[in-house]
Amino acid sequence: MPKTAPDRVPVLRLRGLTRRHGETVVLDGVDLDVQPGEAVALTGPNGSGKSTLLRCVLGTEEPTSGTVELDGRPLDERDPRVRSALAVVMDDQDFFPDLSVVEHLDLLARAHRVADADDLVDDVLAQVGLVAQSGQLPGTLSSGQLRRLALAAALVRPRRLLLLDEPEQRLDTEGLEWLGARLRREKSEGLAVLFASHSPRLVELVADRSLELGRPS
Ligand SMILES: Nc1ncnc2c1ncn2[C@@H]1O[C@H](COP(=O)(O)OP(=O)(O)OP(=O)(O)O)[C@@H](O)[C@H]1O
């Protein structure tokens, strides 16, 4: 029996996704479906378009042509359903310099009207190993701790699709294993996961399949 029934609406559907910069073709007609409970890894060399594809899904970069659908509807960042479906960990995540770790997470959880926000924030702080740093400002965190804060920020909000750009970056070995287990839990709870990675270990731990992108032509 095919793994994906033809009438299932994927959380994410890309059709003919193309992105050019002048003569350079970065993405050339990418087709991809990601179902609930499924994780797809974007792999490929530096410059192959992994972040570009994620930005097109996020809506921060406009494809040259092609379509992006979430839950069968065209992507529209003004649609609150879309905004509440997407949790994102990108490369260049910024934090407010004057809000502590716990204040960031509280703010996000409350902005997304999460029930039992205090309990969830405490739980996520423990999961990412930032309990001792909860009162620190982002500028005082190590690079790995900042990455953990970015991951925590995605875990304290509602989501149906988790987009991650090289989430393994700056994590130690134990952190990588934790991340693999945590993303597997996301899948088991029915979330879809799309992540770019240069870590064969993370791909092995999490991905149901990989989409390998090539060098831009
Ligand atoms: N504004 C731009 N003008 C020209 N080329 C661009 C522009 N933005 C991105 N590119 C090119 O698009 C290509 C894809 O970049 P992208 O960041 O998506 O790659 P990546 O697969 O995420 O790479 P990495 O593994 O290094 O993170 C690169 O060759 C990059 O130089």
10-residue averages of pLDDT along the chain (217 residues): 61 96 94 97 96 93 94 78 84 90 96 93 96 97 94 95 95 94 96 97 97 84
In order of their start, the domains of the chain are: 12-97+158-212 (3.40.50.300)
What's the CA-to-centroid distance between 155 and ligand 1, angstroms?
27
Q: What pLDDT was estimated at residue 1?
A: 46
Q: What pLDDT was estimated at residue 65?
A: 96
Q: Using H for helix, E for strand and C for coil, what is the string for the chain?
A: CCCCCCCCCCCEEEEEEEEEECCEEEEEEEEEEECCCCEEEEECCCCCCHHHHHHHHHCCCCCCEEEEEECCEECCCCCHHHHHHEEEECCCCCCCCCCCHHHHHHHHHHHCCCCCHHHHHHHHHHHHCCCCCCCCCHHHCCHHHHHHHHHHHHHCCCCCEEEEECCCCCCCHHHHHHHHHHHHHHHHCCCEEEEECCCHHHHHHHCCEEEECCCCC
Q: What pLDDT was estimated at residue 92?
A: 77
* 48 close to ligand 1 (CB < 6 Angstrom): yes
* 21 close to ligand 1 (CB < 6 Angstrom): yes
Q: What pLDDT was estimated at residue 89?
A: 93
What's the CA-to-centroid distance between 146 and ligand 1, angstroms?
23
